[in-house]
Structure formats: C-alpha cells, structure tokens
Amino acid sequence: MGKRAGFQRFAFKMSAKSGGCFTQSILIHVVMKPLRCVLFLLATPLLVGAQDMDSLRFIRSKRLSDADLAKKREGFFVTGLPDASSDPVTGFGVGLRSNFYWNGTRQNPLFGYTPYLAKLKANVAYYTSNARELALSLDMPYYKGTRWRFRVDFKAQQNPANLYFGLTETTLGPLRLPATPEGGPTFATYRAFDQARQTLRPGRAGEADEVTDALSNRFRETEFMLNLKADYALGRQGRWRLMGGYEIQHLSYRTFEGLNAPALDPATGQTLTAPNGTSLLRRDFEQGRITGLNGGWVSILQTALIYDTRDFDPDPTRGAYFEVANEFSNPVIGSQFNFNKLFVQGRFFRQLPLGPRTVLAGRVGIGNIFGANAPFFEFQDQWSPEGSINALGGRQSLRGYRANRFLARSLWFANWEVRARLAEASWGKQRFALAVAPFFDVGTVRDRWQELSFDRLRTSYGMGLRIAWNQSTILSLDYGLSREDRLLFFGIGQAF
C-alpha cells in the first residue's frame, strides 16, 4: 500500500510513539511474568520425551483411508511457492511460502494416523516500502507417540493492507465514504465506492486544502508475536482434547493522514496524487468510539476443548471437528488490555458416492467479545487453535466481501463446500491432485450476542480450485461473488 519514507524497519525497538520509554519496572511487569509461562511450555516437550510410547488406541479413529495411506509420502520433503505482489502503499513485494514436512517411514506406528510427524511452516516477504514479514510455525502432533500435541508460532510483520469500515453492526449497511460515515452518499458496489473515495474533496480542519480518501479505510499494523500451545488427547479413543496456550505480542498502528495517494479530479477526470485525509479509524479513535490505536503489549491465556474425528487434518474426507475456544487478556498476566473472547465452531466432512473423491464440507461458527473497552484489533478475528479466522469477510469467512467488511462484538457465520477431485498426477517424487470446490457462505454481526439472529444476513458464493501437493499442502484459489464485490483469493490450506 504506498510509499512512505518513514516506514519503520523491522527491529524490536519501541519508540515513544508506539509504546513509550519502557522502564525496568514495566519490563518486569509485562515480560517476566509471561516469560515464566513460556519457559514452562518450552520445557514440557523434554519432559514428555522421557515417557514411554503410549498405547495408540487413542488415535485409531484418526486412521487415514486406504487410498490416502497408499499415496502418503515417506521421509522428509519440502513444498513451497514464490510470492509476488504490488500495492500502492506496500509497493512491490517478493516472498516465499514454504512447508517442511517430516513424515517418517511406513514402519512408524504413527504413519497411518497422523498427517505428519512434524511440520514447519516458514513465510518470508519483503516490500520496496520496507514493509516485511517473517512467520514461522512448528506443529508436532502426538509427540513421540504420546497424547501430547505441541505448536509454536512466531511472527514479525508490518502489514499496511488492513481494512477498517467500522466496529458496530452499522457496517451491515451499504458502503459509505470515510469522510461521511453517518449520512452522505451510499454505494451498492465496492468498485463505485473505491472510485468515490479517490475523488478530490475540500479539506477539513487539520487536513490539506484538497484531499483524497483513497487510503482512509486502511491502516498499518506492526506486530511481534510468540505463541505456545499444547493439547492432550483425553479418553480411550482420544477424540476429545484439552488445549492450553500462551501468547505475547506487541502491536503498533499507523494511519495514512497526509500521505500522497491516488486521486481523481472531479472536473476533468484526470488521475493524479493528493494528500490523504483523516482516516475512519483515526476519527473513530479521536471520538472515543474505539480503543487500542496506540497499540501496546498484549498478553493472552488461551484455552480450548476440542472434539476431533477427522481422518486427515489438512484435507479430510470424513469426520467432525468441534471446539470451544477462549482467549483471556488482563493486566494480571502482564497485558495492557482487558478482554475475553469466546468462539465456538463445528465442522463436518462426509465423502459422497460421486467420482473418485468428492467431499461435502461444512462449518458453523459463533463468537463474542466480552469487555467494554476491548481494543479494536481484537474484533478483526476469531481465535481458533487451528489458526485465527478473519471475520466477517475475506477468504476464511465471506469470500464475496473484503476482509473485515463487517465487524461487531458478536457474529455468526457458516460455510459449505463440495470438494470434487478431478484428476491426479505424479511428477518425479511429487504427487498432485486437482479438485474443484463450489461454495456458499453466509453470516451476520451484532453489537450484542443476545440479538444474533437470521435477520440481515450477508451471503456470498463462488467456485474454488484446489491442488493437493503431496497430500498435506493444499493450494487454494477461490473466486467469490456477492452483491457488493467480486474477489479472487489465493492461499495455502483449505478455507476450513
């Protein structure tokens, strides 16, 4: 998203603007308490490693189908894709998305029951504006044959592509210009809205004489995050799991007032550049409608109860997944914020008697944020042990709408897909499978969970393309449509 000489470089330092001069007492309060939890979790795998191999009875329900087991690759292998993108704020960027897998041999008792013994995901990207990203994620299911699963995630990124349209159920209404969020013209399509944002308008107090709102729905987030999670399989069949985790992150934000951005002269239709006006996010913050724009330290305790009978986590053909997940943040655990997030979701998968591999997949999710002063950035996603879900809007929820198009304290959404495999092929040691996935999404948001209903629903639909690379890496391409927009999404992994 744009060029800015002042884009901060990736170094773990805090300026007075993004967190202040941290005194020794603040560092002890914010960092040392969480560090005890971190050290304990890091030591847990070593303690588990000393245990004897547990009975595998607890994962027998997770056995891969005979067809998938016959195709599963042994040993160590890597999958990866180059990534290139261009944006008015971030500039031109290049990167790499990669996955490193350890599957073991067929003689390993876990081979037929786990998608992998260990997986390391590594994403890196660099943009001409100095925006950067580094994300690492390690997953070890049924560690050394025990009931334990360990996950470690690290992220250091600067993302200027975040979108903000408001933080209440009024976002369910038609699109409005950032300069007139209450009143003024409305727009039925995002294309018309985007053109209107770029049109020059007279500046207001604190703005230049003439400004554009091309970047007034966007903001930049700089994040450093470490997350540690462990779950334990319960009962003889191991279908239930209890998970606990801890996350520490530092966040800082910037909006784009005064930055030169694309503009349109309403008199001549000429395209030019002009200073950007006051952003919607900044205006809501200054008017006391949101909190958290100054960023800070976020310390979170995570807990979840999970029921899982899927046969192959990355691309299931049968089974169900249900979770009740909670995030708790409070100054007691070193956080500068106070909130509690609850998310419940259920997924199901059933193979249909059509073609070589046709799977009906569905999901329903419902979430709520407790805490009167919960920061705005916590409204942007719903936390799940399998990865946060941007909601509502975007690749993981409503694929016909932009990410975070609809935000409020409470939400529910549902997705359905039919994943139909068309062909399979091998190239050297690499194995590929091609599938299509027509989909339908629906959801809504409310300011109070008691008011969630089937009224004012937003829907999207479309067609997806899936390429399974060595089974565990799923390349996804989705084209989503809604009454407001048409969007193309590319990602690694199924939407759910």
Closest CA to 99 of 491, 496, 495: 491
Predicted confidence (pLDDT) per residue in 70-109, tens digit: 889 999 999 988 877 665 556 677 899 999 999 999 999 9
Summarize the confidence of residues 49-71 as an average pLDDT.
Answer: 73
> Which of 55-69, 341-355, 385-399, 409-423 is predicted least confidently?
55-69
Beta strand 175-176 pairing with 381-382 = unpaired
Per-residue confidence band for 384, with pLDDT thresholds at 50, 70 and 90? very high
Closest CA to 93 of 134, 123, 130: 130
Summarize the confidence of residues 378-394 as an average pLDDT.
Answer: 92
Whether residue 130 is predicted with pLDDT greater than 90 in this model: the reply is no
**Please, what is the average pLDDT of the chain?**
88
Supply the pTM of this predicted model.
0.84
Tell which wins on pLDDT, 320 or 387: 320
Closest CA to 116 of 372, 275, 267, 315: 315
Predicted confidence (pLDDT) per residue in 211-231, tens digit: 999 999 999 999 999 999 999
Give the total residue count for the chain. Answer: 496
Helix (H, G, I), strand (E, B) or coil at 110: coil
Omega before 27 within 30 of 0, i.e. cis: no
Cβ count near 161 (within 10 Å): 15
Whether residue 57 is predicted with pLDDT greater than 90 in this model: the reply is no
- Cα–Cα dist 359/251, whole Å: 40
Residue 267 backbone zone (phi > 0: left; psi -120 to 50: alpha; other: beta): alpha
Output phi, psi for 247, to 5 deg: -135, 135
- How large a percentage of the chain has pLDDT more than 90? 74
Paired tokens of 391: 């909601």
Whether residue 18 is predicted with pLDDT greater than 70 in this model: the reply is no
Contact indicator for 93, 73 with CB cutoff of 8 Å: no
Predicted confidence (pLDDT) per residue in 228-272, tens digit: 999 999 988 899 999 999 999 999 999 999 999 999 999 998 999
Summarize the confidence of residues 448-474 as an average pLDDT.
Answer: 96
Contact indicator for 199, 261 with CB cutoff of 8 Å: no
Helix (H, G, I), strand (E, B) or coil at 457: coil
Contact indicator for 494, 473 with CB cutoff of 8 Å: no
Summarize the confidence of residues 264-285 as an average pLDDT.
Answer: 95
Tell which wins on pLDDT, 13 or 197: 197
Strand boundaries in 294-429, DSSP class E: 296-308, 319-329, 339-352, 358-370, 381-382, 389-390, 410-427
In the chain, the amino acid numbered 423 is A
- pLDDT of res. 83: 78
